[in-house]
Amino acid sequence: MLTAMDEPTAVLEARHVHRWYGTGSARFHALDDVSLQVRAGESLAVVGKSGSGKSTLMHLLALLDSPDEGDLLVDGVATGDLPARQVQRLRNERFGFVFQQFFLNPAESVLENVVLPLTIAGVPAPARRERGMAVLERFGLADKARNRAIDLSGGQKQRAALSRALVGRPSVVFADEPTGNLDSATGAQVEEELFALNAEGITLVVVTHDEELAARCGRRVSVQDGRLSGGAAA
Amino acid sequence: MRTSDLLRSALRNVRRSRLRTTLTVLALVVGASTLSLTTALGAGVSDYVTRQVDALGADDVLVVTAGSAQTGDGPVTYNPTRSTAAGGGAGLPGAGAAASLTDESVAALQRLSGLRDVRPVRSVALDYVQAGSSPRFELSLSPTGAVAQADLAAGRQLDAAGVADGIVLPQDHVAPLGFAGDAQAVGSEVTLAFTDLTGTQRQVPATVVGVSRSGLLSSGAAVGADFLDSLASQQDAGVGSPGRYPAATARFDPATADVAALKEEVGALGLQAQTIEDQLGVVTTVIAGITGILNAFAVVSLVAAAFGIVNTLLMSVQERTREIGLMKALGMAPRRIFALFSLEAGLIGLLGSVIGVALAAAAGTVISAALVAGPLSGLPGLTLLLFRPQAVVLVVVLIVVIAFLAGTLPARRAARQDPITALRYE
Ligand SMILES: Nc1ncnc2c1ncn2[C@@H]1O[C@H](COP(=O)(O)OP(=O)(O)O)[C@@H](O)[C@H]1O
Ligand SMILES: [Mg+2]
């Protein structure tokens, strides 16, 4: 990306964000006064122990969840007051998701699974097919386009999920434990793909407790009992 | 998401759990076919009755009988215009079996200004009918044949024929009397024979002016009022009027007369007046009651089927938690998720109702044809099960609407689902 790296813009920002789960005595402070900026084009690793609040933070940054206190901004615009429709549009057009689980629909073909964000956006079928085939080509799955998603191997499934995250040409890709369910060889392959995307200018937010994966990111923050520590460049 | 994509997605999901969908659809099929059969039965029978009434065309005729004055408890006070002495064969629906009209009551009726052409119904008992040298057949003369319009298979109505000795023969007598067909019988001469009070058999010629189909109301042959009177007088053999009649017929002007008021005036004489439609009204009410009950059963089975849809879709929402969560995470609006599940419900409804209605139409047509050819062959022109396109469409629409409504509960649940709960991996 050629935009000035010396004056980075925060594509995502969390300001004094709190998130509680449960009510009464079971009330649990999952995120405690978290402030964080994600700059356009960077790769950020969110690390921490299991249960520390990494996924909760990622869901908030991705506008899948809303904070109990604090603000979340996209391109400097607070999202709390945006109409639901616009938040849905933001997620659909700007964000891509890769989960630890692949969440492929077993009843649909690989291609249909991959173009789901476009289908949701209302893109006409021919354009969907064209763009879907292009990403599948890139991830070496073009010959599997007509197969049912259930017939793919683990690595192929995660590549299909990556294709789905990419097909809408998002500016930010969120990956929650993307290699957690894969053997180390396939994990390494997915890792390569993720950083290839980042090299093309896509902002990357990776939740992981895989040290090696975190080390490859430009920056890391670590979450501990719902609080942010660190944030220095790697 | 485009509507076409929603539809495709709904279609695929309906096909996905085939067994479950099939069972739900089966429940709807039962409800849909029952409802179509009962409405078709109602339509078929009431259509038949309506056509019978229309064929009679006698919307200006009142049939007056010695109505039962017993409206309250206790004994009935004596009324000289009524008589409970054994009357002649009543032969009319609604005519009291025991009570009959007297000359006084006929005279009283004639004095009513709204009525004209008041005639006591006189029954003539024929011995036989014969055409040329054909075999002889028994034949009954319909007492009200003169005022009713015959459901003609050939020829003309009595009053349009312009013949004094005209007779409308029932269709089933045409071939036995040696006529080649209904049309060939018209214009021929037949002989009517009866025995008078003195025991002498008399023969009277009559001209066939029409051939009638037998129906719910018309039975036997019909002759004009004057011809019937002359036959009755001849049968009395000059002894004179018997003084007692099972009923009387009268005409009124349907354009100006208030039928209800006329009936009340007649009622004030201790008699009972009914239009031909009134007499059929009992039949229609009974039919409406029976089809109403059957329809209620059908609707109950549909409600049960609706719970089946709720159950099926709730299970489907449960199973597809992840899928719904993913779609929401990827920016699908809750309204569209709602639409997706409602569409699935509607599709199940459409499938069940179309199959049910088609089955009912196929089975019903066969059953109806078999019944009409067999046990109900005495009612020509009857279509026992009448499948009207509007009724069929209405049944389908009703079931699709019920299915949609049943789908709203699971659809709401799906639309409200929280994406992150669905996507969390524990
Ligand atoms: N819906 C929920 N209700 C109650 N507690 C929750 C819920 N979701 C997450 N938690 C709790 O919040 C904490 C943080 O969860 P999470 O963000 O998933 O952690 P991580 O991704 O770091 O493993 C955990 O202790 C988890 O049990
Ligand atoms: Mg997690």
Q: pLDDT tens-digit profile of B353-385?
A: 999 999 999 999 898 888 888 888 777 777 888
Q: Which of A68-77, B223-232, B235-244 ranks highest by mean pLDDT?
A: A68-77
pLDDT given for residue B245 in this prediction = 81
Residue B17 lies in a domain: yes
Q: How far apart are the first and last CA of chain B?
A: 30
Q: Is the CB of A51 under 6 A from ligand 1?
A: yes
ipTM beyond cut 0.85 = yes
Q: How far away, in angstroms, is B320 Cα from ligand 1 center?
A: 22
Instruction: State the ligand closest to the CA atom of A175.
Output: 2
Put simply, whether A79 touches B (Cβ < 8 Å) is no
pLDDT of residue B229: 84
Q: Is the CB of A208 under 6 A from ligand 1?
A: no
Number of folded domains in chain B? Answer: 2
User: Considering the domain boundaries, does residue B73 fall inside one?
Assistant: no
What's the start-to-end Cα distance of chain A, in Å?
20
- Answer with the one of B215, B240, B265 that is the final residue of a domain: B240
For residue A165, count other CB atoms closer than 10 A to its CB.
Answer: 25
Q: Among the ranges B51-55, B76-80, B237-241, B346-350, which has the highest mean pLDDT value?
A: B346-350
Same domain, B200 and B141: yes
Are B397 and B338 found together in one domain? yes
User: Considering the domain boundaries, does residue B109 fall inside one?
Assistant: no
Q: Identify the residue whose C-alpha is closest to ligand 1 atom 16.
A: A53
- Give the angle A38-A170-B341 at the CA atoms, nearest 5°: 115
Contact B372, B382 (CB under 8 A): yes
CB atoms within 10 A of CB A195: 16
Indicate whether B69 belongs to any domain. no
Q: Do strands B166-170 and B201-212 pair parallel, antiparallel, or not at all (unpaired)?
A: parallel
Of residues A71, A88, A98, the one with CA closest to residue A16: A71
Q: Would A197 be classed as within a structural domain?
A: yes
* Residue B94 confidence (pLDDT): 41
CATH code for the domain of B225: 2.40.70
Answer whether residue A159 is part of any domain.
Answer: yes
Lowest mean pLDDT, pick from A7-21, B45-59, B91-105: B91-105
Q: Do residue B287 and residue B391 come from a single domain?
A: yes
Contact call for A92 and B331, based on CB within 8 A: yes
Q: Compute the mean pLDDT over every residue in chain B, rounded to the nearest whole number.
A: 82
What CATH number is associated with residue A216? 3.40.50.300
Assess whether pLDDT exceeds 70 at residue B77.
no
Residue that is last in its domain, among B214, B240, B266: B240
Q: Are residues B311 and B408 in the same domain?
A: yes
| Residues around the ion ligand 2 (C-beta < 5 A) | A 55
Mark the ranges of chain A whose per-residue pLDDT is less than 50: 1-6, 234
Mean pLDDT within B210-219: 74
Q: Is residue A22 lining ligand 1, measured as CB closer than 6 Å?
A: yes
Answer yes or no: is A1 within a domain: no
Q: Are residues B46 and B141 in the same domain?
A: no
For a substitution probing ligand 1, which of A18, A19, A20, A21 has the most ligand atoms within 8 Å of its CB?
A21
Q: Say which range, A79-88, B23-32, B132-141, B238-247, has the weakest mean pLDDT.
A: B238-247
User: B25, B310, B26, B340: which is closest to A105 by C-alpha?
Assistant: B340
Residue B72 has pLDDT above 60, yes or no: no
Residue nearest to atom 6 of ligand 1 (CA): A21
Which chain A positions have a beta carbon within 8 Å of B419's beta carbon? Answer: 64
Structural domain boundaries enclosing B357 = 3-54+282-423
Q: Name the token pair of A31.
A: 């995120």
Task: Give Cβ neighbours of residue B279 (< 8 Å, ≥ 6 apart).
Answer: B63, B92, B93, B94, B217
Is B235 found in the same domain as B153? yes
Please check whether residue B392 is in contact with residue B365, taking contact to mean a CB–CB distance below 8 angstroms. no
Is residue B92 scored above 50 in pLDDT?
no
Out of A55, A92, A122, the one facing B330 most closely (by C-beta) is A92
- pLDDT band at B88, cuts 50/70/90? very low
| Separation in Å, CA A109 to CA A136, A157, A164, A167, A172 | 12, 12, 13, 15, 26
pLDDT of residue B150: 79
Q: What atom in ligand 1 is closest to the CA of residue A207?
A: 21
For residues B291 and B360, membership in a common domain is answered with yes
* pLDDT of the residue at B263: 85
Between B277 and A220, name the one with better pLDDT. Answer: A220
pLDDT higher than threshold 60 for residue B85 = no
Is A234 among the domain residues? no
Among B420, B423, B424, B426, name the best residue to mutate to test ligand 1's pocket (greatest count of ligand atoms within 8 A of Cβ): B424
Please report, for residues A53, A227, B50, the alpha-carbon distance to residue A221 in angstroms, rounded to integers and kept in the order given: 12, 10, 86
**Is residue A10 a contact partner of residue A39, using CB atoms and an 8 Å limit?**
yes
Residue B259 lies in a domain: no
The residue among B317, B311, B310 whose CA lies nearest residue B13 is B317
Exposure letters B264-295 (e unless 16+ CB within 10 A, then b): ebbeebbbbbbbbbbbbeebeeebeeebeebb
- Residue in chain B lying closest to A164 (CA): B330
Residues 6+ apart with CB under 8 A from A211: none
Residue with CA closest to ligand 1 atom 25 = A51
Q: By C-alpha distance, which of B194, B192, B193, B196 is closest to B236? A: B196
Detail the DSSP E strand segments found in B258-307.
Answer: 272-275
Q: Separation of B90 CA from ligand 2 center, angstroms? A: 93
Count of domains forming chain A: 1
CA distances B219 to A163, B168, B213, B229, Å, are 83, 11, 9, 19
In the prediction, which pLDDT does B74 show? 55
A171 burial level (CB within 10 Å; 0-12, 13-18, 19+): middle
> Sign of torsion, CA B171 B176 B180 B185?
negative
Domain span holding position A180: 10-229
A98, part of any domain: yes
State whether residue A88 sits within 8 Å of chain B by CB: yes
Evaluate whether residue B233 is within a structural domain. yes
Of residues B342 and B148, more confidently modeled: B342
Residue B184 lies in a domain: yes
A92 touches chain B (CB under 8 A): yes
How many angstroms separate the CA atoms of A170 and A203, rounded?
Answer: 9
Atom of ligand 1 nearest to the CA of A26: 4
